[in-house]
Amino acid sequence: MTQGLWLSQAEPVHRLSGRVRFRCSFRDSGPADWVALAAEAARFDGVEASRASAHAQSLVLACDPTVTDASRLRDALLALGQPNPSIANEGAQDHGPRNALLASAAILFGIGWLPRAAQLAISTMAAHSLLHEAGEDLAQEGITSRVLEGLAVAISLARGDYAVANTTGFLLSLGEYLSESTARRSDILLRDLLRPVHPSVWVTRGGQEVEIPADAVVIGDTVVVAAGSVVPVDGRVLSGIAGVNEAALTGEGALVEKTRGARALSGSVVQEGRIAIYAESVGAGTVTARIAEYVERSLAAKGRMQLESARLADQLVPTILRVASGAFLISGDWRRPASVLQADYSCALKLATPIAFRFAMYGAGQSGILIKGADALERLAEADTIVFDKTGTLTTGVLEVTDAIAFDEHFSPDDLLCLAASVEEHYAFHPLAMAVVEAARATGRNKHFDHQEVEFIVAHGVASTMDGKRIVVGSRHFVEDDEGIDCSAHRPMIGKLLDEGKTVLFIGFGGRLLGIIGLEDTLRPSAAATVARLRELGAQRILMLTGDREDRAAEIADMLGLDGYHADLLPEDKARIIEDLGESGACIAFVGDGINDAPALARSHVGIAMNRGADIARLTADIVLLEDDVAGLSDAVMIAHEVMEIIRVSFRLTIGLNTSILAGAALGALSPLATSVLHNGSTIAILLNVLRHRIGSQRHLAAISSP
């Protein structure tokens, strides 16, 4: 590190337990290198994972809240010194294409003053790699575009046109450098995005708890999972008690009590308590294989248009050779076939399409969208029907207080909230407690009720003493069965909230029911705008599937202006509906986040998963929204349409320009040098036209930066 400070700003704009998003600004004197910033931040104490977004100007850090917090991380970021560029980029670049480009440029512009014999030797040596590859292609595959390029250079060398041969070599190197550098940047970003968020796991070995890499867990290990952590394996609870959020598995956020013998599934989150799990199926053991599959699919999968472009380019090669032969037979001039062989369609057709796809994937990744291959982009562009799962997709999956009902005339609804919050604030990592505390703050009163020490009853609630009376806040089972508080007089009101699909929190005081608080999953702030934007982008139908009640589903569909919905569904029902829609001719993009959504994701035309969803959903999906915001879907659709339009324009330019150049070369209007410059120059121009489009740059930053 150098002495100068790197960042001028690092402000936390969104905080969750174990996750902080910073809005960062670089100093003018330092490099605005977001990849290097993420790498540096990953070294901070307590930081488990880091990801930076240049488009959003943000840095997201997953951290251990027992080790660090937002304030410490902010101080550490602002204390960072500017990195040494050579160190920051160490191992990140492949210098081969750049060195080849520099060497070909030096030969092209530096040997003109040498004797002809020396020019021949140097030019032949420079063309050796191309000629060797052309010979291998001819022997193994027949006549290919590489063979035509090699033949054109060989004719130029034979005729002593060293400038033509070296110009061709330079322009080919320039095209390869642009292609390789863009692909490399895309690949690095994709691999960075695919790193596991939780690389380590706590296990019991030799009677002690030790932290080991996630991929070192084996079947039979005893895995220890505490509050705030994700269950990393499938297995059975050996000891302990915990309240586990299985929203990623079931789609609903109610806590499930886990005790000895209970089944624990990977992807669920321990919200309270602590359990030891016997590992029966080791999810972390397959993480490496899954990441390899992700990367391989992302980087190697070819879309239909890419395959068609390559196929057309190969089909045109014999035509070029026939035109070259005909031009020589008619004119008897060797310059004409040398010129025609330069005018090959393959370069632009085979380079522009994959570069456009990779560049789109790179831009999407910087915008918080992981796209697993060109075929996913093509299918997303074709989608005319968007189908949403509800929980965790259109809704936040986070509970919010909707009702506060006091059964004592001495307590107002605000008093009830403040009383519950006074006890629950000591338990603020629990989702219900967080919702109640937030609702109490929203009253503006911030009234605090003094009480004695708080007692935590795992998977039930909390209890304390106030004014000599016992106060309890928790589930109906806790209040009614364990505490013996009679709730029968208020069953109609309790039943009403339950019928509305709400979670009910009970408050008992002095042996009687003081009141109840209703909580409900809330719509994402960006949901309505996302639906409207999808319509602008051409979506013909937008539907919702949910296991929720009919009335709640109808309410949400009406609020968002959806074209229809299906409620009270089982996981297999979602897959059946997707299949039926597909058989009716719809091209479906399905958006979900839970294990129960995986069958629907697999059967849709293109599957999109939320990043905070279940592991299997993200594995099954073709696209993953890395930001916890459904607005990323409309951004992904926009990117898909953009890249397909860029490819169509590039295709038309390639065919039009190369056909004109080919005609000029065949008629003798263009010399071999002019043809080489025009052909390779037009190919580079088409590539630059692809690269100048900042695909995904129109992302609505407000949507991803708001809490």
DSSP string, 98-146: HHHHHHHHHHHHHSTTS-HHHHHHHHHHHHHHHHHHHHHHHHHTSS-HH
**Predicted confidence (pLDDT) at residue 706 exceeds the cutoff of 60:** no
pLDDT (tens digit per residue) in 485-499: 999 899 999 988 888
pLDDT (tens digit per residue) in 35-59: 778 888 988 988 888 877 664 567 8
- Output the pLDDT for position 591: 92
∠ Cα 127 129 130 (to 5°): 65
pLDDT band at 306 (very low <50, low <70, confident <90, very high): low
pLDDT (tens digit per residue) in 621-668: 888 887 778 888 999 999 999 888 888 888 888 888 888 988 888 888
- Percent of the chain predicted with pLDDT > 70: 79
**Predicted confidence (pLDDT) at residue 126 exceeds the cutoff of 70:** yes
Nearest to 377 by CA among 56, 189, 608, 630: 608
**Predicted confidence (pLDDT) at residue 686 exceeds the cutoff of 80:** no
pLDDT band at 531 (very low <50, low <70, confident <90, very high): very high
pLDDT (tens digit per residue) in 507-521: 999 899 999 999 888
| Structure-model confidence comparison of residues 346 and 702, the more confident one | 346
- Output the pLDDT for position 613: 66
- Output the pLDDT for position 87: 36
Answering whether pTM is above 0.85, one says no
DSSP string, 179-226: HHHHHHHHHHHHHHHTS-S--EEEEEETTEEEEEEGGG--TT-EEEEE
- Output the pLDDT for position 506: 94
CATH 1.10.760.10 fits 7-92, yes or no: no
Centre a 10 Å sphere on the Cβ of residue 108 and count the other Cβ atoms it contains: 21
**Considering only 30-34, 183-187, 535-539, which range has the smallest mean pLDDT?**
183-187
- Output the pLDDT for position 186: 54
Best CATH choice for the domain 218-282 from the list 3.40.30.10, 2.70.150.10, 3.40.50.920, 3.40.640.10: 2.70.150.10
**Predicted confidence (pLDDT) at residue 4 exceeds the cutoff of 70:** no
**Predicted confidence (pLDDT) at residue 523 exceeds the cutoff of 50:** yes
**Predicted confidence (pLDDT) at residue 529 exceeds the cutoff of 90:** yes
pLDDT (tens digit per residue) in 242-269: 888 776 555 455 678 888 888 887 767 8
Q: What mean pLDDT do residues 680-694 have?
A: 71
Nearest to 674 by CA among 175, 328, 336: 336
- Domain spans of the chain, in order of start: 7-92, 105-191+293-360+642-692, 218-282, 364-395+524-638, 397-522
At 556, which helix (H) or strand (E)? Answer: helix 550-560
- Output the pLDDT for position 707: 29
The CATH H-level (homologous superfamily) assignment of domain 364-395+524-638 is: HAD superfamily/HAD-like (3.40.50.1000)
- Output the pLDDT for position 386: 95
pLDDT (tens digit per residue) in 262-299: 888 776 788 888 899 988 777 544 333 444 444 444 44
Residues carrying an active site annotation = 389
Q: What mean pLDDT do residues 159-172 have?
A: 77
- Output the pLDDT for position 28: 56
pLDDT band at 314 (very low <50, low <70, confident <90, very high): low
| Structure-model confidence comparison of residues 669 and 89, the more confident one | 669
- Rounded Cα gap, residues 359 and 319, in angstroms: 31
Contact 416, 408 (CB under 8 A): no
Q: What mean pLDDT do residues 121-150 have?
A: 79
Centre a 10 Å sphere on the Cβ of residue 551 and count the other Cβ atoms it contains: 12
Contact 258, 225 (CB under 8 A): no
Contact 348, 680 (CB under 8 A): no
pLDDT (tens digit per residue) in 450-477: 777 788 876 678 888 888 889 999 888 8
Among 94-98, 108-112, 406-410, 423-427, name the most confident range: 406-410
- Rounded Cα gap, residues 192 and 293, in angstroms: 14
pLDDT band at 406 (very low <50, low <70, confident <90, very high): very high
Q: What is the DSSP letter of 605?
A: S
Beta bridge partners of 19: 16, 62
**Predicted confidence (pLDDT) at residue 695 exceeds the cutoff of 70:** no
**Predicted confidence (pLDDT) at residue 29 exceeds the cutoff of 50:** yes
- Output the pLDDT for position 116: 85
- Percent of the chain predicted with pLDDT > 90: 14
| CATH number at 397-522 | 3.40.1110.10
At 338, which helix (H) or strand (E)? Answer: helix 335-342
Q: What mean pLDDT do residues 304-333 have?
A: 75
